[in-house]
Structure 1
């Protein structure tokens, strides 16, 4: 006979979010995954028995998890005290408790916030970076609102990095085809995977605004409802894992690489922005009689003036820059336009109350906390500086001048000198991020590519 639950255990279970409580109804919780996002956006943490989680108010991980590169190497970012790996204090945000419906037992995931041993937020923890930016808005009486779009590919299993990535096999027995944007038949090809994505999302309490086929072979887009930036970044963080798990059930991979397949469009994380006045509850981009306000134009100017400095955050890998290709569905400059998908900054069609600005630059490979924080930081500086943007671009912006760094090294160079951005995101975050990404870039430079072997081996 199972032991009688303690009062503390009962209290904890009674305060779960509704979706988690519904998922567990009639079942015994086995395990809790205590997780944080590292700089690349990988979930790191510990899995503990539910009985232990009920008794713990916090757990510990070394701060070195934020100094790791995507390959598992290390950036020398520990600071003056050296690489001693002191423990951080990880405290659960119970509002993030969500099911892990792909597991064999009844498991919840809970996102934690990272603090030092004095109780101060860890400045280079990505969720803390985004929280800091949101708080800067709130101090001005503004509430930032975002609506992200997630693009990704479903591809055939690839267990040999030397082999090119290929589209997945569809339900018809044929490989996914390119240039089928918005095709419902193409979406049906991935029906079993999409069904699992919907089921997992429902178990986790997430509302999908829509799924469409994009222009690449096996490329899909999921739109999320607008809302609080931290909440939406949490959802993307969860969704990446959810989608990967759904794909694995059907003998394929889901990839969020910016450019996984040569010749196909890249995958973006477009972010729609609006800002609400906390006193009136109204969109500050819209004024009397529905007119566009100065704040609307200041926000656009902030994106134009400061986005080059944060490209290293929204395009964080060497592969990211393969996406910024002329006429390939990704922007090459910072022009802005109304209902113009060739510009880096787009103003979608909407009614006056829903007026918003879409940032089309971020890749889906970015950490969602850092990608959204970077975009909001640029808009925040625009609102504070009160500058005007360039003239609205009319026509095909691919005919304009390229304004985006072409490689990670150049982007990191711009980020290094962006003091205004550092002050918004946090100078300590900026220091650690640059060191880690530079170490990662140095690791990449040690790899000899097939192109080099093919064209340089016998010709130079």
Structure 2
């Protein structure tokens, strides 16, 4: 695949100072702010200034799907208690409730979980015709205790481990997705949409400005919707696949960036629907075409000094830098199920399709799983190229940062960097969902970092999804087995 544009600018000489100013998600309390207020008093002013009538109180489930409740503004600002059943975190992507297995169990009472709005995420819903706002909520138990298995809390737990060491993780996601023609028959293959030229988009249009211009009005709406929500897009490009696009978000706090990806996915789907097409974040939506990734750039900042932990004062890579890479190599296979969460995800991780197939790392080598982009010492970072765009952003970021943390804690040493092509030949990563799941359950080092509550719950859901998939007979089976066996 052609070289990608890097969202965390290699030429930046002031990255560490910018990051110091963004140590926490930015909270702007002015009624003019696009996203985020400081407190409930500011929230009331913000809502009144926009004439907001309804508010969507949402939170990501394990798949990253928005769940929650809508209410009138007057109820939102009157201390109304919001609750959801705990069963929402125990169903599969298809809405099924899997059998109990391993350590996966249902909560006997299916008791309520409380939604606690994070007012730093308050923003508008710009595609709605009536003035509507949305806010992302944290999830706590009935007594206010933390619920360890919810995606936001899993990511917070990992970030707090870094903060205890005096460090702040900084990330920048790059999200790929396809535009596809509307299709209401799941038995039919997906096809590219027709652009403004009146012709279907073809593959091989990487970095094509003409390819982007085919969807000018849709992309304009994406930008307008994002601006209205305070989402900061860095760059947009046309990728290798037909009508495959990539949007890079500006680097910052992991939780804030996960929130932005969560909002961003909603935004893309809504903009596409408005223009008579679908947007899909499936890892492999079209046979024979490249898959869609969510590459994650990662660095660490010393909270006290603002310097990049991956670089020494003389500009050379630090021991933490190499241990971070070593941790990625050692532990990512055991967390891959959080970065490639569905059966379809493993169709992307195949040789000769411009994606990683092992845990190799290298300097400016896009064929490796862990790429070190060209940068100055202040911007030194590790790009994880394994996650697919179908991953829950909170869980993908948590998994990736957890692996680096364990590497630093356990002084993991990386292999030698790879200078040659690394994504051809044998696949050294799990080849399917159950294999990846077994690795996660077997890795005891993950338990104190991610919590056994999350691992047990996630494993049960993924086993249930696999069993649901196994009930479906594929076209391949009908074509090659029907009359030949």
TM-score (normalised: structure 1): 0.94
Alignment partner of 1:344 is 2:359: no
> RMSD in angstroms over aligned alpha carbons?
1.8
Task: From 400, 414, 417, give the equivalent of 1:392.
Answer: 417
SS in 2 for 1:298: helix
SS in 1 for 2:57: strand
Measured in 2, the distance between the counterparts of 1:178 and 1:25 equals: 47
- Spell out the pairing of 1:142-157 with structure 2 (5 A cutoff): 142-157=167-182
Task: From 5, 8, 19, give the equivalent of 2:34.
Answer: 19
SS in 2 for 1:288: coil
Measured in 2, the distance between the counterparts of 1:454 and 1:106 equals: 51
Q: CA deviation at 1:58?
A: 3.5
Structure 1 residues 293-302 or 418-427, which shifts more?
418-427
SS in 1 for 2:34: helix
Measured in 1, the distance between the counterparts of 2:432 and 2:442 equals: 17
Task: From 147, 156, 166, give the equivalent of 1:131.
Answer: 156
Alignment partner of 1:99 is 2:99: no
Q: CA deviation at 1:220?
A: 0.3
- Spell out the pairing of 1:207-246 with structure 2 (5 A cutoff): 207-246=232-271
- Which residue in the other structure is 1:58 paired with? 81
- Which residue in the other structure is 1:301 paired with? 326
Q: CA deviation at 1:130?
A: 0.2
Task: From 320, 337, 358, give the equivalent of 1:312.
Answer: 337
Check conservation: 2:222, 2:268, Cα contact below 8 A: yes
Check conservation: 1:16, 1:95, Cα contact below 8 A: no
- Spell out the pairing of 1:2-13 with structure 2 (5 A cutoff): none
Aligned positions, number: 448
Measured in 2, the distance between the counterparts of 1:15 and 1:90 equals: 25
Task: From 221, 231, 234, give the equivalent of 1:206.
Answer: 231
Measured in 2, the distance between the counterparts of 1:445 and 1:125 equals: 27
SS in 2 for 1:111: strand
Change in Cα spacing, 1:423 to 1:97, as seen in structure 2 (3 Å) is same
Q: CA deviation at 1:28?
A: 1.3
Structure 1 residues 314-357: Cα deviation after superposition (integer angstroms, max 9, x where no partner): 10000000001212111001100000100000000111100000
Task: From 353, 373, 376, give the equivalent of 2:398.
Answer: 373
TM-score (normalised: structure 2): 0.90
Check conservation: 1:67, 1:76, Cα contact below 8 A: no
Measured in 1, the distance between the counterparts of 2:229 and 2:29 equals: 17
Measured in 2, the distance between the counterparts of 1:447 and 1:291 equals: 53
Change in Cα spacing, 1:80 to 1:444, as seen in structure 2 (3 Å) is closer
Check conservation: 1:90, 1:114, Cα contact below 8 A: yes
Structure 1 residues 34-57: Cα deviation after superposition (integer angstroms, max 9, x where no partner): 001000000000010111111125
Stretches of structure 2 that go unaligned for 5 or more consecutive residues are 1-27, 38-44
SS in 1 for 2:77: helix
Measured in 2, the distance between the counterparts of 1:124 and 1:72 equals: 18
